[in-house]
Amino acid sequence: MTDNTSQAPEEPINNRSARLLVARAGALPWWAFLLALLFVYAFIRISTSEEYQDILDALIDRPSATTSDKFDVVYEVDTEVQVIQEALTLRQPDGTRVNIDIDDVEGREEGRLACDRQADPDCVDQFGQIVTYRVPAGDGDTPVGTAEKRGVLAPEGGLFTIVNFPNGSSIIIDPNNITSREEGTLLCNHVLQPGCQDLTGEIVTFELPYVLKQGLLLREDAVIRHPDGYVETVRPNRLSDVETQECTREEIETCFGGEYTTAIFRERVVGTEVTSDGENIKVRTVNEQTVFIPRERIINLESGLVECDRNANPRCQDFQGTIVAREGAVTSGELSLETNRSVSIIPEGQTTSVEIPKANLIQDEEVRSPENCRVEDEGACFITVKEKDSVVAGRIIKDTDEGITVQTVAPVFVELDPDEAESTRRAPLGCALNNIRGCNAGIWLTLLVTFVAYGLALMIGLVVGLMRVSSNPVIYHLSTFYVELIRGTPLLVLLLFFAFVIGPTIRDMKPINLGLFEFSLSGFYAILNDIEVAVLGEESFLSEAVLGLAIGYGAFLAEVFRAGIQSVGRGQMEAARSLGMSYPQAMRHVILPQAIRVVLPPLGNDFIALLKDSALITVLALPDLLQLGRLYITRTFQPIPVYLMVSLLYVLLTLLLSMMVRYIEKRFKLP
Amino acid sequence: MTDPIIMIQDVHKFFNTSRGKFHALKGVSLQIMPGEVVTVIGPSGSGKSTLLRCINRLETIDRGSITVDGIPLSGAKNINKVRAEVGMVFQSFNLFPHKTALENLMLAQRVVRKRGRDEAVEKARGLLKKVGIHDKESSYPSQLSGGQQQRVAIARALAMDPKIMLFDEPTSALDPEMIKEVLDVMLELAKEGMTMVVVSHEMGFARAAADRIIIMDEGYIVEENVPDELFENPKSERTKAFLSKIIKH
Ligand SMILES: Nc1ncnc2c1ncn2[C@@H]1O[C@H](COP(=O)(O)OP(=O)(O)O)[C@@H](O)[C@H]1O
Ligand SMILES: [Mg+2]
């Protein structure tokens, strides 16, 4: 056979295939030509229109050739930090807040905090964690105990014994309560209180009577100092291995109160993975920001101290750089939107608008034509605005004849040894040929969700379909219940139910103890979350959406499989059993292979239906084809071309997939 | 004296139907010796197929007992083992349409007998040759004639090396010109000493090969005898009436 065709001369084959093509085309229905015409039209429109290409780019998340931004990463690294303070914020019964030191805590318990109705008649009791803490007894109080404190005795003077503390406060004590005296220095916490003074003199240790108070726990904080000097407030539960040792200021500059407390802090390094040379991974935690200033707009250029942007990077340091005075830019074009705060202008020759805050504009220099025109007016309103002069501070990183480029925020890189990371999460970033995992939006997400949900639905359908032909009444009724329940629920409702009822329920479920081992659905939820992060880069409703679609379609497919199995004659099962095969063996080798062939066409139909129904996941804010289209509309206010394009892409996908389905059907067809 | 290979004692079978219970077998007793060929005849609906299907427990019985090759069926732990020893040939062939002739013969060998691929192929080829269709081994059932299909079905049963072969009207779905090729295979088997229970109205086969003929009617065995005796002077009226009907054919 093959020999024959390869030996035949070129011409006849071409002729033959051409004739075949004509013959095939003749067999096509009339609407196929209409569809083809539509595609040709769409193709011409798309290939000639920039607007449509923009839309297409947005919808399919078009891959670029290469990208260096491959992954968003979250590494968790353990660092040893100094614990400077641990404090609780409490709500007192009268409604006011108070910060207390962790050392003053006497006890904690879950419970109710009765509110003070004398202070506030309308107040409501609060439930939560109630903290009991010590407060120095006042004049009228009856103390319930005493706590040991240390302070420096103020120079003798007068009737009272006054004790000073390094934080600047002082109290009057009863000299009888002093238990010991020594000469020395009390160290102050200059990190929390810059400029405070260490106290030298006679240090006294004394018993301070206290009373107990209660408050509702609002927040728990720990102030920690990183090895590089950066101080931040974190949740104490991220600290472990807390250890305290004695210290002096001569040994350690950040020794406070004679004690030095360290802890292991699990720090998150969040950023974009730039390179990974096998050993170290370079993570860009802060993106660089640059401003280009054309030469003609430079008014003045001088060196000076650049205050770094602590919003972008809390750990950054001010540096010596360049400060550029820049003349305000002039923008003119069509006014597209105007609010109290800003104007949006489509500059001449461009398609997208730029938004300029009104605060940056020089009001007197604004020109409109027609005069005083507004967006609502009929016809276009052209506007020319001039921005105020401004100052740009940073480092000059490029200096050309056209102008200079100033880096206002420097990129921050962190080098990590992956072996030191306690945990790693990588979320794909740019869609590119060298980073296929980054292709996770638009058409790709629609396809991904469709294929995965369909795969799961096939498994569910097969299992439930087999249960539906079982002679065991329990199995039969269980599967029938599932099928009827799910088929009676709209898919949209099912999706919302999974996202907002089943998801949270599983997440918050306590582990179930089955005696031998603990079974935890919340662990399952965590795994799904990890998958979501791996796929989409963030926790989302992706798994809920896929499971909802799979379970919804599983019910349909179960009925398809049941019908398929029942369509295979009884004689087949009997023949297989009479040869000594068990029921599962007969199912697997004889019944199912035949049933599958019978159900391939309906399975294919359901596959295409699922592709279209996958658009429902848009309600769960997943960036699928439809969702990207809708987002594009909110940016451009152009529903017509976008929805045209969205529909076209769905039609194209279903056509491709039905071709695939038909091919598979042909492959499996029996002679 | 050897023991019977099939012992059927006072077997009753009820079917649940929409009109209540249907009594299909009403106390059937029968003993078949190894190597014996027994032909079962009787009017349609008399319970012939049911009896046959009870022997390899495609139907379960409600009363009485059946013992095959010394194993009581009602208590048989692994009925699949018994079934592998009892080959069955159906009126409608029941070949596996998604498998070629060769694969039809190989499947149960591989799955049930756990034979290796080469061994199964060799065995299958030998049997296809024996039933005279070795040139069609890669044809699918739909590409074979009825007679060829039934011969493949016989070969498929033989591939399991059964001790007993059950035939349920193996030729009644065939065109007349194909009946002979199937009967020839069965005659050959009978000559080789296979124990066979054949439900068939082919009197030629019965005369040539059967050691005994059983007549069934309405769930009872009404008569049994050696072929010549039975044909020459049937005892019961029912047998006479029935024989006159089928011999006219
Ligand atoms: N699965 C079944 N359910 C109900 N009735 C059955 C079933 N199989 C057979 N029967 C009935 O049992 C009787 C005997 O059937 P069968 O053994 O097939 O007769 P035949 O002698 O024609 O082979 C028939 O009346 C038939 O209707
Ligand atoms: Mg019958």
What is the per-residue pLDDT across A92-109, written as a single tens digit (0 to 9) for each?
Answer: 887 788 888 888 888 888
Q: Which residues contact A279 (CB under 8 A, 6 or more apart)?
A: A417
- Residue A581 and residue B112: Cβ atoms within 8 Å? yes
Half-sphere CA count of A540, side-chain side, radius 13 A: 23
Whether A263 and A144 share a structural domain: yes
Atom of ligand 1 nearest to the CA of B44: 22
Q: What is the 3-state secondary structure (H, E, C) of A265-316?
A: EEEEEEEEEEEECCCCEEEEEECCEEEEEEHHHEEEEEEEEECCCCCCCCCC
Kindly state the tokens that stand for A227. Answer: 């090895």
A164 pLDDT above the threshold of 90: no
| Disruptive mutation site among A577, A579, A588, A589 for chain B (greatest number of B CBs within 10 Å) | A579
What pLDDT band is residue A17 in, cutting at 50, 70 and 90?
low
Q: What end-to-end distance do the CA atoms of chain A give, in Å? A: 19
Contact A401, A295 (CB under 8 A): yes
User: Could you tell me if residue A617 is inside a domain?
Assistant: yes
A326 shares its domain with A190 = no
Of residues A6 and B121, more confidence is placed in B121
pLDDT on residue A263: 92
Rounded Cα gap, residues A78 and A263, in angstroms:
10
Residues A117 and A190 in one domain: yes
Contact between B194 and B87 (Cβ < 8 Å): no
Q: Can you read off the two tokens belonging to residue A56? A: 């297409």
Distance CA A616, CA A609 (A): 12
What is the mean predicted confidence (pLDDT) over B59-66? 91
Residue A5 pLDDT: 42
- Residue A644 placed within a domain: yes
pLDDT value of residue A14: 58
Q: Note the pLDDT tens digit of each residue in A594-634.
A: 999 999 999 999 999 999 999 999 999 999 999 999 988 88
Strands A281-286 and A259-276: antiparallel
Over 50: is that where the pLDDT of A9 sits?
no
Phi then psi for residue A26, to 5 deg, are: -60, -25
Please, which residues bridge with residue A645 across strands? none
Distance CA A40, CA A637 (A): 26
Instruction: Identify the pLDDT of residue A24.
Output: 64
* Cis before A490 (ω within 30): no
- Higher-pLDDT residue of B240 and A303 is A303
The amino acid at residue A604 is G
Kindly state whether residues A581 and A634 are assigned to the same domain. yes
Contact A575 B90 (CB under 8 A): yes
Query: Alpha-carbon Rg of chain A, whole angstroms?
Result: 36
When comparing pLDDT for B102 and A255, which is higher? B102
Give yes or no for residue A87 having a pLDDT over 60.
yes
CB within 8 Å: A579 and B140: no
The pLDDT value given to residue A52:
81
- Ligand 1 atom nearest residue B46's Cα: 21
Atom of ligand 1 nearest to the CA of B169: 23
A503 C-alpha vs ligand 2 centroid, how far in Å?
57
Pocket test for ligand 1, best of B15, B46, B220 (most atoms within 8 A of CB): B15
Report whether pLDDT(A1) > 80.
no
Cross-chain CB nearest to A578 (options B83, B96, B111): B83
- For A179, list phi and psi in degrees, rounded to 5: -105, -30
Do A443 and A59 contact (CB within 8 A), yes or no? yes
A585 contacts on B by Cβ (under 8 Å): 111-112
A-chain residue closest to B54, CA distance: A578
E runs forming strands in B90-211: 164-168, 195-199
Q: Tell me the pLDDT band of A360, cut-offs 50, 70 and 90.
A: confident
Helical segments of A508-581, H only? 521-536, 542-567, 570-578
Closest Cα in chain B to A588: B111
Q: How far, in Å, is the centroid of ligand 1 from the Cα of B155?
A: 27
A302 plus A263 within the same structural domain? no
Which pLDDT score is estimated for A27? 67
Q: Verify that A356 and A461 share a domain, yes or no.
A: no
Backbone angles phi, psi at A353, to 5 degrees: -95, 155
Whether pLDDT at B196 is above 80: yes
Q: What residues form DSSP beta bridges with A130? A: A109, A216
The confidence band for B102, taking pLDDT boundaries of 50, 70 and 90, is very high
Whether A253 and A301 share a structural domain: no
Partner-chain residue, chosen from A571, A582, A670, that has the shortest CB–CB distance to B92: A571
Residue A432 lies in a domain: no
Residues 6+ apart with CB under 8 A from A151: A163, A164, A165, A170, A171, A186, A203, A204, A206
What does the pLDDT average to over A325-349? 86
pLDDT band at A276 (very low <50, low <70, confident <90, very high): low
Residue A18 zone, left/alpha/beta (φ > 0; ψ -120 to 50; rest):
alpha
* pLDDT reported for residue A20: 63
| Residues of chain B neighbouring A579 (CB-CB closer than 8 A) | 83-84, 87, 107-108, 112, 156-157, 160
Residue of A nearest to B90 (CA): A575
Q: Are A457 and A610 in contact (CB under 8 A)?
A: yes
Give yes or no for a contact between A538 and A463, defined as CB atoms under 8 angstroms apart: no
Mean pLDDT over A433-454 rounds to 87
Whether A400 is covered by a domain: the verdict is no
Tell me, yes or no, whether A259 and A311 share the same domain.
Answer: no
Instruction: Output the CA A654–ligand 1 centroid distance in Å.
Output: 50
> Do A90 and A143 reside in the same domain of the chain?
yes
Percent of chain B at pLDDT > 90 equals 68
Q: Taking residues A458-475, what's their average pLDDT? A: 95
- The β-bridge partners of A300 are A325
pLDDT at A602: 92
Q: Which of A491-495, A588-592, A664-668, B177-181 shows the lowest per-residue confidence on average (mean pLDDT)?
A: A664-668
Chains A–B, number of C-beta pairs less than 8 Å apart: 66
Backbone angles phi, psi at A612, to 5 degrees: -70, -40
Predicted local distance difference test score (pLDDT) of residue B1: 57
Alpha-carbon distance A416 to A188, whole Å?
35
Q: Tell whether the model's pLDDT for residue A25 goes beyond 70.
A: no
Which residues of chain B are at the A interface, by a Cβ-Cβ cutoff of 8 Å?
56, 58, 80-81, 83-84, 86-88, 90, 92, 94-98, 107-108, 111-112, 140, 142-143, 153, 156-157, 160
d(CA A103, CA A101): 5
Cα(A563) to ligand 1 centroid in Å equals 25
Look at residue A167 in the predicted model and tell me its pLDDT: 79
Which range among A394-398, A502-506, A522-526 shows the weakest confidence by mean pLDDT? A522-526
- Looking only at Cα atoms, what is the longest distance across chain B? 55
Q: What token pair was written down for A224?
A: 């920690």
Q: How many helices (H) and strands (E) does chain B have?
A: 9, 10
Amino acid at A594: Q
Which residue type sits at A394?
Answer: G
CB spacing of B156 vs A597 below 8 angstroms: no
Binary contact (B94, A574; C-beta < 8 A): yes
Q: Whose CA is nearest to atom 5 of ligand 1?
A: B15
pLDDT for the residue numbered A11: 47
What are the residues whose beta carbons fall under 8 Å from the beta carbon of A355, sequence distance 6 or more? A337, A342, A343, A344
Q: What proportion of chain A, given as a percentage, has pLDDT over 70? A: 94
d(CA A241, CA A619): 45
Strand order of the β-sheet with A354-357 is: A354-357, A342-347, A330-338, A382-386, A367-369
Partner-chain contact B94 A569, CB within 8 Å: yes
pLDDT over 70 at A566, yes or no: yes
Distance from the alpha carbon of residue B49 to the mean position of ligand 1, in angstroms? 7
Mean pLDDT for all residues in chain A: 84
Nearest protein Cα to ligand 1, atom 4: B15
Inform me whether the pLDDT recorded for B114 exceeds 90. yes
pLDDT tens sequence across B199-231: 998 888 888 899 999 999 999 999 888 888 888
Contact yes or no for B195/B163 (Cβ under 8 A): yes
Mean pLDDT across the stretch A30-40? 82
Token representation of residue A398: 């490029």
Domain residues for A113?
78-267
Do residues A145 and A210 touch, judged by C-beta distance below 8 A?
Answer: yes
Mean pLDDT comparison of A422-436, A507-521, B158-172, highest-scoring range: B158-172
Range B125-133 average pLDDT: 93
* DSSP run (H or E) holding B10: strand B6-17
Crossing angle of helices A542-567 and A473-487, in 10° steps, is 120
A484 and A379 belong to one structural domain: no
> What is the reported pLDDT for A4?
45
Q: What's the CA gap between A580 and A571, in Å, rounded?
A: 14
Average pLDDT over every residue of A109-130: 79
pLDDT of residue A338: 86
Q: How far is B84 from chain A (nearest CA, A)?
A: 4
Overall number of domains in chain A: 3
Q: Is residue A551 part of a domain?
A: yes
Token pair, residue A369, equals 């034509």
If asked whether residues A490 and A598 sit together in one domain, one would say yes
Distances (CA, A) of A235 to A85, A215, A260, A265: 12, 19, 19, 10
The answer to whether B112 contacts A575, with C-beta atoms less than 8 Å apart, is: no
Cβ–Cβ of B96/A590 closer than 8 Å?
A: yes
Find, among B39, B56, B46, B50, the residue nearest to B171 by Cα: B39
- Ligand 1: centre distance to CA B50 (Å): 6
Confidence of residue A10 (pLDDT cuts 50, 70, 90): very low
Query: Can you give the pLDDT at residue A479?
Result: 96
Residue A87 contacts residue A101 (beta carbons within 8 Å): yes
Q: How far apart are CA A595 and CA A560, in angstroms?
A: 10
In a domain, A233, yes or no: yes
Residue (of B223, B186, B187, B1) closest to B89 by Cα position: B186
Residue A217 sits at the vertex; the CA angle it makes with A215 and A219, to the nearest 5 degrees, is 140
Q: Is residue A467 part of a domain?
A: yes
Least confident of A43-57, A511-525, B152-166: A511-525
Domain assignment of residue A110, yes or no: yes
Amino acid at A502: I
Going by pLDDT thresholds of 50, 70 and 90, the confidence category of residue A481 is very high
> Cα–Cα distance between A348 and A240 in angstroms, integer?
60
Ligand 1: which residue has its CA nearest to atom 18?
A: B49
| A578:B98 CB<8 A | no
Q: What tokens were used for A38? A: 């539509």
- A419 pLDDT higher than 70: yes
Q: Compute the average pLDDT of residues A32-52.
A: 80
More confident residue, A573 or B243: A573
Residue A8 confidence (pLDDT):
43
3-state secondary structure (DSSP) of residue A615: helix
pLDDT in tens, A385-415: 998 888 899 888 889 998 999 998 888 888 8
Residues A226, A106: one domain? yes
In DSSP terms, A172 is beta-bridged to A162
